[in-house]
Amino acid sequence: MNGFTSWPPEVTPDQLEQLTLLATTYALSHSLLYLPPHGDIPPPPAPASAIHAPLSLFPTPVPRELFVRARRIQRAYNVLYARVAIDNKFLDEIMGAGGVADVDEFTGELWRAWKGLREEGPVQPLHLGLFRSDYLLHQPTSEAEISLKQVEFNTISSSFGALSQQVSGLHSYLQASTGYFGASPLLTPNNLPLNETVKGLVAGLAEAHNAYGVPDAQILFVVQANERNIFDQRLLEYELLLSHGIHIIRRTLPELEHSMKLSPARALLLPSGASSASPLSEIAVVYYRAGYTPTDYPTPAIYATRANLERSRAIQCPSLALQLAGGKKIQQVLTMSGVLERYLSREEGADEVRESWVAMWGLDDEDLPIPGAKPTNVIHVDDVKEPKGTREARIRADTLVLKPQREGGGNNIYRAAILPFLDTLPAPERRAWIAMQLIRPPAAVEGYLVRSGDAQTGPVKGRVVSELGIFGWTLFGRETNGQESVREAEVGFLVRTKGEGVDEGGVAAGFSVLDSVLLVD
């Protein structure tokens, strides 16, 4: 594995300059783009400029067998989360009253909306999930075998599918145009896997559109205002139209509060144009690229708008149930003995799914067999009246991350920050937090990271950590006879690379760059 740990290969300053020029111009030519930051000044209604997305000059080495495994077990994860999302009793127990909903206001609002809709009687039995399962390579010591461990499973607004395809194309282009100057025998076309995530994700949206059964119905993209990552969304929009003839409407949640209508049969109707006087269009699928963070719901009326969207006959991507199923607490409870096996058999991949997990527990847990490394902190907590889960988090703080029920990056508590955080965390709120063993990526891997605006200094070389994401979609529900219906597929991948020592990993949040896979044996 020497070729892996000594990455990237050596190139001359002139070669590095040429690679940077080719990469940035390719990015600008192929929609590998962001809108520029606008600060406190509202952006113009029609974008006048764009910058290339942050990117890596060299693809990231990933052991071939682990990449194949990650893609294979995505099919099992697709089925697993579909089944969890239709288990109302399980979701109520973990995320509902008496659980997370009582101490996490955001989760509580979503759960209460879902509970109210169930009591009314839903009119749409189908759910659509566009998923992304994120992993890190794990090598706790330099002698240990490298394994694949899951960071999290995303059930809402699983972004960067389109841009991940573009950056895979960028690295293939650099290889075809320069051969990377012969810098490494690993940099061959056979080691750069094809990435068709746009086609795959759109296939899931189109499958749901077809299941809705109204050919001229449209798909609603629920988006955030002033979205900088708009090109990642637009590439999906273009594929829907050009390959499937499906039109989309983009609206924010506040815009929907005033423009959406429900027909007597609960069809979701929206003005097809910017004016409220525009003809109304029926919506087949509601695809959320917003709604995953409390800031997306500034008023109670916005929560009511989200509920009204789900009250309609339109297929939700995700439904409130599926969004709740993606909570960190669900991820942790699934690791407990026997819970995963309620939803997934060994023949369906349960063993490989369980093997992809690290140790996790709730801060309020008492029954707590914790595998893994011995604790590193010498802390005497025998007299502290705390649940065992919290005491273990104190003892093992140097090896942990604490996670709340949030998406989008910037929410987790790491290592040295854990002890002071636990000192101030109100006791009832412990049930909304999980402790997770830190994954230890292979050491001494480096990369060249390029961000727009760094032209004066060129690409930045440094030690890096890369996170692999695998995309999938699932269309599922219960038939009228109570039988389970699941259609699903694995559809592509994403790599995000960040500097070593940077805990958070979001590209949109500014921590990471977009990358792709180089298969190594």
On the question of pLDDT at 368 being above 90, the answer is no
Active site residue 210: no
Q: What is the rounded CA–CA span in Å between residue 171 and residue 176?
A: 9
Collapse the DSSP code of 301 into the 3-class scheme (helix H, G, I; strand E, B; otherwise coil) and give the result.
helix
- What is the structure's pLDDT at 366? 86
Active site residue 154: yes
Choosing from 56, 154, 168, 259, the catalytic residue is 154
- Under the banding of pLDDT at 50, 70 and 90, the label for residue 4 is low
Do the beta carbons of residue 80 and residue 340 sit within 8 Å? yes
Q: What is the rounded CA–CA span in Å between residue 468 and residue 81?
A: 19
Do the beta carbons of residue 226 and residue 289 sit within 8 Å? no
Report the CATH fold assignment for 359-438.
Dna Ligase; domain 1 (3.30.1490)
Q: Parallel, antiparallel, or unpaired for β 268-271 and 126-138? A: unpaired
More confident: 480 or 14:
14
Do the beta carbons of residue 330 and residue 84 sit within 8 Å? yes
With residues binned 3-state (H G I as helix, E B as strand, rest as coil), the percentages for the chain, rounded to 5, are 40, 25, 40
Active site residue 328: yes
Q: Is the dihedral of CA 87, 93, 96, 100 positive or negative?
A: negative
Phi, psi (deg, nearest 5) at residue 50: -150, 160
Q: Dihedral (C-alpha) 175, 176, 180, 183: value to the nearest 10 degrees?
A: 90
Residue with tokens 């997770």, as numbered in its chain: 436
On the question of pLDDT at 191 being above 80, the answer is yes
Do the beta carbons of residue 161 and residue 18 sit within 8 Å? no
Choosing from 492, 496, 498, 505, the catalytic residue is 496
On the question of pLDDT at 101 being above 80, the answer is yes
Residue with tokens 């090109």, as numbered in its chain: 231
Active site residue 496: yes
- What is the structure's pLDDT at 2? 47
Cross-strand pairs, 450: 55
Q: Is 392 exposed, middle or buried (0-12, 13-18, 19+ CB in 10 A)?
A: buried
Q: What is the rounded CA–CA span in Å between residue 384 and residue 245?
A: 63
Choosing from 71, 83, 306, 328, the catalytic residue is 328
Q: What is the rounded CA–CA span in Å between residue 398 and residue 419?
A: 10
Considering only 31-35, 149-153, 162-166, 409-413, which range has the smallest mean pLDDT? 409-413
Across the range 429-451, mean pLDDT stands at 92
Active site residue 388: no
Active site residue 132: yes
User: What HEC string does 97-114 produce?
Assistant: CCCHHHCCHHHHHHHHHH
Q: What is the rounded CA–CA span in Å between residue 270 and residue 18?
A: 49
Active site residue 78: no
Q: Residues 6 or more apart from 349 whose CB is under 8 A from it?
A: 72, 73, 75, 76
On the question of pLDDT at 301 being above 80, the answer is yes
139-146 long-range Cβ contacts below 8 angstroms, 24+ apart: 139/440, 139/441, 139/442, 139/443, 140/373, 140/440, 142/443, 146/1, 146/63, 146/66, 146/442
Choosing from 407, 467, 488, 490, the catalytic residue is 407
Considering only 31-35, 39-43, 260-264, 501-505, which range has the smallest mean pLDDT? 501-505
Considering only 144-153, 402-411, 434-443, 470-479, which range has the smallest mean pLDDT? 402-411
Q: Residues 6 or more apart from 49 whose CB is under 8 A from it?
A: 35, 36
- What is the structure's pLDDT at 225? 93
Domain parsing of the chain, residue ranges? 2-36+50-358+439-520, 359-438
On the question of pLDDT at 145 being above 50, the answer is yes
Choosing from 69, 132, 289, 431, the catalytic residue is 132
On the question of pLDDT at 1 being above 60, the answer is no
- What is the structure's pLDDT at 379? 47
**Number of other CB atoms surrounding residue 423 within 10 Å:** 8
On the question of pLDDT at 408 being above 80, the answer is no
- What is the structure's pLDDT at 218? 98
Across the range 95-110, mean pLDDT stands at 95
Q: What is the rounded CA–CA span in Å between residue 82 and residue 235?
A: 26
Active site residue 451: no
Across the range 145-162, mean pLDDT stands at 96
- What is the structure's pLDDT at 223? 97
Considering only 148-157, 331-340, 499-508, which range has the smallest mean pLDDT? 499-508
**pTM listed for this prediction:** 0.94
Q: How far is CA 238 from the centre of its chain?
A: 22
Active site residue 329: no
Amino acid of residue 29 = S
Across the range 316-331, mean pLDDT stands at 97
- What is the structure's pLDDT at 378? 44
Q: Residues 6 or more apart from 335 whose CB is under 8 A from it?
A: 354, 357, 359, 360
Considering only 153-157, 178-182, 501-505, which range has the smallest mean pLDDT? 501-505
- What is the structure's pLDDT at 274? 77
Do the beta carbons of residue 254 and residue 243 sit within 8 Å? no
On the question of pLDDT at 454 being above 60, the answer is no
Choosing from 158, 159, 319, 512, the catalytic residue is 159
Choosing from 152, 227, 239, 310, the catalytic residue is 152
Choosing from 3, 408, 409, 506, the catalytic residue is 408
Across the range 300-320, mean pLDDT stands at 98
Q: Is 260 exposed, middle or buried (0-12, 13-18, 19+ CB in 10 A)?
A: buried
Across the range 492-498, mean pLDDT stands at 96
Choosing from 228, 403, 440, 498, the catalytic residue is 403
- What is the structure's pLDDT at 370? 57
**Number of other CB atoms surrounding residue 230 within 10 Å:** 19
Across the range 249-263, mean pLDDT stands at 97
- What is the structure's pLDDT at 373? 46
